[in-house]
């Protein structure tokens, strides 16, 4: 999911690739990551969108497309519910506060915390090989 947030995730295909039922995969994923797969993908998309708002001159509509959302109004609503600001006001606030040096530091800290959290979860996973199987399945799909 993190490799390409634009890709639409089919839970049934994902579950089938690791030989689990959709329910079991969702249960394991939520217990390991703390969020259901779809909510986790939404969080990844919002994080990517936030980074694009901070580092690019793309329009809000272009950013929505870059993170896999074709409906700008849904993107704006999701972004606002995640960060408390619309994408436009977030970008303006970010640029107004010294080109975002403090925001850069906060974003890096958040990314570091997310990486640590995911790493900890992977180490404590009920099925640590699930991560390897998912990686191998996605690599195999990429090769074919």
This prediction's pTM: 0.64
Distance CA 128, CA 48 (A): 26
Flag whether 102 is in a domain: yes
For the chain, how many structural domains are there in total? 1
Flag whether 6 is in a domain: no
Residues in the chain: 144
In CATH, what number is assigned to the domain containing residue 120? Answer: 1.10.10.60
Flag whether 64 is in a domain: yes
Q: Determine the structural domain holding residue 50 and report its residue range.
A: 11-143
Give tens-digit pLDDT for 19-68. 999 999 899 989 988 989 889 889 999 999 999 999 999 999 999 999 98
How many Cα atoms sit within 13 Å of 93 on the Cβ side? Answer: 11
Flag whether 4 is in a domain: no
Flag whether 1 is in a domain: no
Could you tell me what percentage of the chain is helix, strand and coil, using 3-state DSSP and rounding each to the nearest 5?
A: 75, 0, 25
Flag whether 5 is in a domain: no
């Amino acid at each position: 999911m993190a490799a390409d947030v634009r890709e639409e995730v089919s839970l049934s295909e994902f579950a089938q690739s690791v030989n689990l039922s959709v329910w079991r995969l969702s249960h394991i994923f939520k217990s390991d990551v703390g969020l259901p797969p779809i909510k986790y993908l939404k969080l990844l998309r919002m994080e990517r969108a936030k980074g694009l708002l901070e580092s690019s001159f793309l329009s809000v509509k272009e950013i929505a497309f870059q993170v896999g959302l074709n409906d700008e109004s849904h993107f704006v609503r999701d972004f606002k519910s995640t960060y408390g600001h619309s994408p436009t006001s977030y970008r303006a606030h970010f640029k107004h506060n010294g080109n975002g040096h403090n925001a850069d530091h906060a974003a890096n800290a958040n990314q570091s915390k997310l990486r640590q959290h995911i790493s900890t979860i992977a180490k404590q996973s009920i099925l640590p090989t699930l991560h390897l199987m998912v990686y191998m399945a996605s690599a195999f799909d990429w090769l074919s």
